[in-house]
Amino acid sequence: MPVAIITGASKGLGRALAEALAARGWDLVLDARSAGPLKEAAEAVAGHGTRVTALPGDVTDAGHRAELVAAARTLGGVDLLVSNASALGAEPLVRLSDLPLKGLRRALEVNVVAALGLVQEALGPLRESPGGAVIAVSSDAAAEAYETWGGYGASKAALDQLAAVLGAEEPGLRVWAVDPGDMATDLYATAVPDDDEPRPAPVSVVPAFLRLLDERPASGRYAAPSLVEGR
């Protein structure tokens, strides 16, 4: 069975992706900082009959990243790496004039540095996989100038560029940066707690990610809503 590592998998998009891949027979290594919600998610995902390893920890910890890849090797290797764990930099979001530099550093550390560190750790087994792929979960804030989203958007823009260069440097892999679009997630609610406009559930964009895995288009940046509409 193919093996995927998914970070930030205890809830939201990460958990929805884990459920969908498990339903397709993928074995999984799941990461999140909170042990309780991660355990609950892993138990639910394992209900599909696949092997699931849940490792709570912080992706900025190099030792934790090594544990994730080692666990995947135990399951057979790494066929897919999904960098979904994200940090906002400020909760709720604030204008750049008020953005704590410590928060910006945290966003860059989680969204960019840790994502690259995990790729570096997993690159060997990814290259060995006949269908090795990396998905970097991006944001429209990486490309659009929304007030208060400057720090988070800058980190996601950096992640986009990192994914683009990785795709050029690793032609044997597929490297996709995916903007999932608006979703009703805890991260969004934390970012903008006063915005009570309804938003789609994360599970609604999962078909876009499955389409990438099924059709394996060229490495690049993709918008999940367009992939869903184009089916």
CA nearest 50: which of 78, 73, 20?
20
Q: Within 13 A of 222's CA, how many CA atoms are on the CB side?
A: 27
72-to-12, 60, 79 alpha-carbon distances in Å: 22, 18, 9
Catalytic residue among 83, 86, 129, 138: 138
Catalytic residue among 10, 11, 152, 219: 152
Q: How far apart are CA 206 and CA 225, in angstroms?
A: 10
Catalytic annotation present for 152: yes
CA nearest 177: which of 104, 80, 82?
82
Q: How far apart are CA 118 and CA 103, in angstroms?
A: 21
CA nearest 177: which of 202, 162, 160, 153?
160
Catalytic residue among 129, 156, 219, 222: 156
Catalytic annotation present for 156: yes
Catalytic annotation present for 102: no
Q: Within 13 A of 158's CA, how many CA atoms are on the CB side?
A: 19
CA nearest 54: which of 20, 17, 6?
6
**Is the distance from CB of 211 to CB of 227 less than 8 angstroms?**
yes
**Catalytic machinery residues:** 138, 152, 156
